[in-house]
Structure 1
């Protein structure tokens, strides 16, 4: 059956049965398990297991019976929160129990925030009064409109075994092949994320890229997803069904994207969700219509001072994608063109923080090639798995393991006094109103603004920096708000992720300088204690204003004491960056230099050197003594002989 492979990732399904007392919960479970009507049933059955071969998906089902008594409410609530699916019962011969669905049970499930699919089941169908016929669709239609979490409704009879196995089949199916991710019941159409996933699958199967699936391509698709070929008559039949309903669904070349999407909507409308789920899961999608983590070989475990970068192969692929979607050849992607890049991804990944305003754009809001590559570098640094997934969504066809690389540890770089990284991460500290945000904006080529707005959330700026000799390096700046420094440094490994730290202060304000100096000392101490010290640069911002008295002397004394370079004067307002960003790259490329030292750190270092020298002296002395003893013994042997 098509749904078999879809269930491969699950070891079992847990179904909890709830409803008013006397609605037939225990009899329903017992009848399903024994395939016979039980004469005597306990009030509450122990958990009952339907074996893997009970249903075509070959996934075992555990059914949990519950009591609706007040004293059992705590246990009931606990079971509901553990449920994969909920079977909610009423008695066909008792209209009050049907009313209770709307007045108590469904609101109660919402109050408990139960997210599991619900199957509403009318039990005791054989006892319904034949003089009062009832249409299940008419009765349940309005309730299902109000409670979209209801997956389906069914009536059954434990006494006659009518539709008893179907109850738990639908419950299992609601878990293994859920409707909610695929289909909008209210609008009766495929959901956007489902459309995006099916588009990607269509493009992958359209081998000749002519915009349609030919008969041979359709057959390959069928074999890949269901391990069975399509007969010629079946292909003709499929096309006829599509053409009758969607004129543009078939053309002279084959089944179009419009027709492909229509077919899946038709499967879902007819209750054949397992068919669409089999296709999606064959192409690596999970229940959230994202690629499964197990097929994304992104480096997950690594040392704190390692980072993840795109390989040159992946960067070249992205350059090609940029050229492909730059339809007007203006060197930038307009918002619509950028959306088209990610049309086969679950959504555009750069619509919200921290990516939304993190890259260089033109005055019209288009993203440049540098901005495009910088966004990818930022996403790879922050979320390698998401970056790799999006590469695959947009068509990266190489080995996924060849797209990302794990960098060498920064501690090793310091010892070797060089680095092989292409992307550098820099944290930007400083007091309020020092000019941190203005500095990040200038890095992205944005005009200076006198309006001040404090940074509250994550704020990044990423761009490509041209170096001497024609090389390009990507620099990622992360602003650390003054209020967040204490929390940031509370994690002893926080500095491990950065290549450089900048300390921005208002050069016209003495307090701003003193606060920046305090922050520098805090970061230096943290680096010394954790062993993750980073090169530090002081930035004397607002150089267009008159400096406060003694500014240069104070700064010179502090930098000399701590062993770092003198502050770099910068005026964002006058667009005078003094080659700041190239200097940041240079500091990152020389990871053994510009690391500040506190007095305590110097003393500790001196003590360590003293201990090492003492140990060396002792070791040399011991070695001399051993050699001397050996020589004496040799002499004594020769003398005696």
Structure 2
């Protein structure tokens, strides 16, 4: 990440100075760097560096001067897009340059999608006509309401050095301690993600879990974050401020969560954002108020055909969490209870795709235990780092490295003819109207619907499948829309993530059968070419209708070395057995891998070559043995 160390800590701040010609950009930069007013300044200065000891935060600042001429526009745009902060200048003695901020410069930054904080700076304060005084707050207030990206406004004079160092201090502060992630200026309140992070920190510091920070806990918090204890009088003072401003902020047991949040809102309102940011960063948060990558020891997959799963220790923790929040003990969690679980995470992760509609729920929309564990399995499979971060945020107290594990390569599983995986990923192919969505809905226990709704984009369905003997495996079904198959197969590693592929077709429709067979052959060829061949199953859906001749279907599966198509009538009867068949195929990765004619010829050719090499090797060995025998015979004869 630019300007950051491996631990996510800023190693530098890049400030770009822009504005109309003649507004004092270059003089401002030169005066800040030399602490003197320059007699001569070139039209555009080269990048200027303020060393790390220039400001208290100890982070160097690189200041980039720009030209507003049309000839330099391309370079200006490039610099603005690379900026951590933008200083927009106007001249205090030229009112038109102030108007240009809202009519040109600020709209231009939005048009270019510049995400950096903006500091508005009035230069040449010493040249303003004293007969036309200006109230900066009154003038800039409406502009700041319209353009929320403005962090602060300040006026300065390079000639008299008034507030010149402050300009780049505010620019650096806007980058190191940004307001936007923490505080909603319009509502004048902490933002939801900030509240969630502070709530987690409060709970971590509330060691006795009594809902309040005692004096001892408050002091321990102070030492952890700021390396200095609070004196008894200071603790009394802090609590007095809270008591005077907010009812319920301090209780008999100490500072409450409400009081803790109020204190941070107060710090921000007073401009002391560095205090709240120091707390957040001490507890591992980045600028987006998510846990930093350096404190998330997410295991790394070394090959495309590996995956990441939850360990038994993590699953046991999640079972405990489910029971803890299942207050009415009905074996399911209401949406509000799910939100309560994730109240200390950046957000509730399953409220958006691909998780929002991917797991088993009751008729009332509550999440069952199987659905809860399956959602976690899916999140771990798709985004291990996000899963680990959420585990930590909801209170996983074990070693983070013990929560996730990387599976063995599928190619190794095939050679050993067994797998140790607990989560299997199944791709569901098939032509339109073949019943793919109905199969996924059936997997989640949902009733059959005759309304046809084509699937657009990625859709997953995940659930726990119980095998004979009582063992449980998690199956993730991923629907592959027919229109997206060609693009999907362009990726040579597209099948690396697949444990088993199923091909649905409408058993009453000849075209559906032929199209499904074509898709199967395309996938089989891709598997042979890429080396990621996968077990495949054909599923004859809608078998309650008049079937297309089964003999033709069976002959194709025999030619490909596959099982006969599995008949399924989602509309009329339970389809659970098909999911057990899918799991069984995934657990035997060396079986049910289709072979095309081209693949068979390649295999025959390799066998022929190997046989020839074996014949040559045997012949050579016989010759060597024969030569040795002849020499022994000749030696005996001579003696």
SS of residue matched to 2:349: coil
* C-alpha distance 602-233 of structure 1, shift in aligned 2 (>3 A): same
**What are the residue-to-residue correspondences of 1:309-458 with 2, within 5 Å?**
309-458=309-458
2:125 aligned residue:
125
Give the Å deviation of 1:378. Answer: 0.7
The equivalent of 2:493 in structure 1 is 493
Q: 1:38 to 1:507 in 2, by over 3 A?
A: same
Distance 1:508 1:32, change over 3 A: same
Aligned CA-pair RMSD: 1.8
How far 1:348 sits from its partner (Å)?
0.9
1:214-613 counterparts in 2 under 5 A? 214-548=214-548, 551-577=549-575, 579-613=577-611
Equivalences for 1:151-170 in 2 at 5 Å?
Answer: 151-170=151-170
Call closer, same or farther: CA 1:563–1:133 in 2, change over 3 Å: same
CA shift, 1:258, in A, is: 0.6
Return the offset for 1:352: 1.3
- Give CA-to-partner distance per residue, 1:217-272, whole Å, 9 cap, x none: 11111111111111111111111111111121111111111111111111111111
8 A Cα contact 1:322 1:333, kept in partner: yes
1:428 match: secondary structure:
strand
Cα separation, partners in 2 of 1:223 and 1:95, compared to 1, 3 Å: same
Cα distance in structure 2, aligned partners of 1:5 and 1:486? 41
CA displacement at 1:637 relative to structure 2? 7.0
User: Structure 1 residues 187, 308: CA separation in 2 closer, same or farther (over 3 Å shift)?
Assistant: same
Deviation at 1:300, TM superposition (A): 3.4
Measured after TM superposition, the shift of residue 619 of structure 1 is 2.2
Is the Cα contact below 8 Å between 2:301 and 2:406 reproduced in 1?
A: no
Q: Does 1:618 align with 2:605?
A: no
**Could you tell me how far 1:93 is from its partner in structure 2?**
2.0
Using a 3 Å threshold, how does the CA distance of structure 1 residues 583 and 5 change in structure 2: closer, same or farther?
closer
Q: How many residues align?
A: 636
Cα deviation, residue 6, structure 1: 13
* Farther off after superposition, 448-457 or 89-98: 89-98
Rounded Cα–Cα distance in structure 1 between residues aligned with 2:634 and 2:178: 91
Post-superposition offset of 1:11: 1.8
For residue 418 of structure 1, report the CA deviation from its aligned partner.
Answer: 0.8
Give the secondary-structure state (helix, strand or coil) at the position aligned to 1:222: helix
User: Equivalents in 1 of 2:361, 2:91: separation in Å?
Assistant: 63
Contact 2:7 2:292 (8 Å CA) reproduced: no
**Cα displacement string for residues 513-562 of structure 1 (whole angstroms, at most 9, x for unaligned residues):** 111111111111111111211111111111111213xx211111111111
Q: 1:567 to 1:130 in 2, by over 3 A?
A: same
Which sits farther off after the overlay, 220-229 or 296-305?
A: 296-305
Alpha-carbon contact 1:355-1:375 (below 8 Å) kept: yes
Contact conserved, 1:359 with 1:462, CA < 8 A, in 2? yes
Q: CA deviation at 1:454?
A: 0.6
Distance 2:5 2:602 in 1: 61
Please give the secondary structure, in 2, of the residue aligned with 1:579.
helix
The alpha carbon displacement at 1:625 in A equals: 3.5
Q: Which residue of 2 aligns with 1:47?
A: 47
2: CA distance, partners of 1:215 / 1:628: 95
Q: CA–CA distance in 1 between the matches of 2:534 and 2:70? A: 62
SS, match of residue 248 in structure 1: coil
Counterpart residue number, 1:193: 193
Offset from partner CA, 1:485-516 (integer Å, 9 cap, x none):
11111212111211111111111111111111
Q: Which position in structure 2 is the counterpart of 1:207? A: 207
Give 3-state SS (helix, strand or coil) of 2:90's partner.
strand
The question of whether the paired residues in 2 share the 8 Å contact of 1:568 and 1:578 is answered with no
Quickly say closer, same or farther: Cα 1:537–1:95, change in 2 above 3 A. Answer: same
Mapped to 1, the partners of 2:629 and 2:224 lie a distance apart of 79
Are the counterparts in 2 of residues 431 and 515 from structure 1 also a CA contact under 8 Å?
yes
Moved more, 99-108 or 585-594: 99-108
Distance across 2 between alignment mates of 1:607 and 1:170: 72
Whether the aligned pair in 2 keeps the contact of 1:569 and 1:578 (CA below 8 Å) is no
Unaligned runs of 5+ residues in structure 1 are none
**Corresponding residue for residue 102 of structure 1:** 102
Q: 1:219 to 1:626 in 2, by over 3 A?
A: farther
- Does the 8 A contact of 2:443 with 2:576 survive in 1? no
Contact kept, 8 Å, 1:502 with 1:539, in 2: the verdict is yes
Q: Residue 463 of structure 2 aligns to a residue in which SS?
A: strand
CA shift, 1:65, in A, is 1.2
Question: Is 2:301–2:308's contact at 8 Å kept on the other side of the alignment?
Answer: no
Preserved CA contact (<8 Å) 1:7 1:176: no
Distance 1:90 1:295 in 2: 43
Contact kept in structure 1, 2:301 and 2:307, CA below 8 Å: no
CA contact (8 A) 2:300 2:406 kept: no
CA distance in structure 2 between the aligned counterparts of 1:162 and 1:582, rounded to whole angstroms: 77
Q: 1:631 to 1:36 in 2, by over 3 A?
A: farther
**Matched residues in 2 for 1:640 and 1:245: separation?**
118
Call closer, same or farther: CA 1:233–1:628 in 2, change over 3 Å: farther
Instruction: Give me the TM-score of the superposition, normalised by structure 2.
Output: 0.97
Q: Using the TM superposition, give the Cα deviation of residue 448 of structure 1 relative to its aligned residue in structure 2, in angstroms.
A: 0.5
For residue 448 of structure 1, give the secondary structure of its aligned residue in structure 2.
coil
- Kindly indicate whether the alpha-carbon contact (under 8 Å) linking 1:7 and 1:59 is maintained by their aligned counterparts in 2: no
Distance 1:163 1:146, change over 3 A: same
Larger displacement relative to structure 2 (196-205 or 97-106): 97-106
Using the TM superposition, give the Cα deviation of residue 578 of structure 1 relative to its aligned residue in structure 2, in angstroms: 6.3
Aligned counterpart, 1:61: 61
Query: Normalization by structure 1: what TM-score?
Result: 0.96
